[in-house]
Structure 1
């Protein structure tokens, strides 16, 4: 593999590791918001109407921003009927082939995410609730997470091709 590919893999892996480790901490922010809602309702007698949506938005951010890091760590679910019996090179060939479908899927999702975010921004789309938050920030975060997964999938493709060729990228 050339220097450009190695540099791409290094930078994508480094950036996704940083974003993934940041996203892991969002679960604590979500828990704090939920605890605040409980405290506000039980002790102050003032229910808060924005907590459920904010928790959902944070969970979406947690899930999608952490997706690329999960892919990088190979921590996703895999159906392992025959895969585990294959040699490292054959697994790499299999992964390099199947990741192309993932790349296509993520490309379609990214295109839809751009379209949806642009629509939410242009028309000032709001959620139909009493809080009525604007939708573009969460849609932008979702699209960003999908793009990170797409970049990580391309990185995985390069690494698998390198392994299949007998020259893994360190």
Structure 2
């Protein structure tokens, strides 16, 4: 089991690098686009037709592509009242018992997202706004983001299996969050 668990840090590193990139640079890009729109609209009375929609499209990509990063850093919403009282092995057992919900949801998201993205790419789908940008690239982020989250979930499951059967690698001292 330990050999499989050695894949977990590689997957987490991938999600960390991609997530840090998308979280930092896409957020910065969205901020600049919206700042440009505010300046154009209120200082020059020349609003754009593209800035709000582009920021919205980038935000969709931001949300989809940063999910694996959030999961790797335990950033998703979690109810910890009882869970944190368990030992590391107990938490690993709970994670494994509930992981079927995670994998079922992500499998549906991946399959349906892939179908939606494939159809969107096939017709080179655009929005129906005045600006009319292509939205098929955004739809491609759905299966890509689902794959990143699924990979991180697999990595976490491998670690949980390793903890359950071999015990924690290092003793925990307090809470990371």
Q: Is the 8 A contact 1:159 1:168 kept in 2?
A: no
Task: Quote the residue 1:117 is aligned against.
Answer: 117
Deviation at 1:58, TM superposition (A): 1.6
After superposing on structure 2, the runs of 4+ consecutive aligned residues of structure 1 that deviate more than 6 Å are: none
Task: Quote the residue 1:34 is aligned against.
Answer: 34
| Structure 1 segment 45-124 matched on structure 2, within 5 A | 45-124=45-124
Structure 1 segments unaligned to the other structure (5+ residues): none
Deviation at 1:165, TM superposition (A): 0.9
Task: Quote the residue 2:9 is aligned against.
Answer: 10
CA 1:72–1:140 in 2, change beyond 3 Å: closer, same or farther? same
What TM-score, normalized to structure 2?
0.88
Cα deviation digits, residues 22-55 of structure 1 (max 9, x gap): 0121111111000011112223332111112211
Partner Cα distance (2:11, 2:85) in 1: 30
Equivalenced residues, count: 169
Deviation at 1:75, TM superposition (A): 1.8
What TM-score, normalized to structure 1?
0.91
Deviation at 1:71, TM superposition (A): 0.6
Please report the RMSD computed on the Cα atoms of aligned residues, expressed in angstroms. 1.7
